[in-house]
Amino acid sequence: MMPQYIQKNNCEAVELDGEWIILNTEDFTVTKLNEMGGFCWLLLSQGQSICSMMEAIHDKYELDGDNAEQEMEDFMADMMKYGLIQDAV
């Protein structure tokens, strides 16, 4: 079974002009996401695997690419590093 990820409870998010601002209220950090990153953030309100997120992005944005999976893995690693997501249990 693939690992799944979910938003941490200590985060607040707001969308401004197509960009997302994520506030980590525990660590007092601010992370800015583009539209697609914001879409991923919304998906992460429920447990998601990298594959399920890639499918949703492909359906919404009709994107596909050779390095898409690596980019998603890098994005999720950054989100984990910034303390915005955690392993879904």
Residue 37 has a pLDDT of 95
Residue 2 has a pLDDT of 81
Residue 24 has a pLDDT of 95
> Which residues of the chain have a pLDDT value below 70?
64
Phi, psi at 47, each rounded to 5°: -55, 130
Here the tokens at position 60 are 């919404």
Closest listed residue to residue 43, CA positions, set 69, 81, 5, 17: 5
Residue 64 has a pLDDT of 64
Fold of 5-87: Outer Surface Protein A; domain 3 (3.90.930)
Residue 6 has a pLDDT of 96
Q: Which pTM value belongs to this model?
A: 0.90
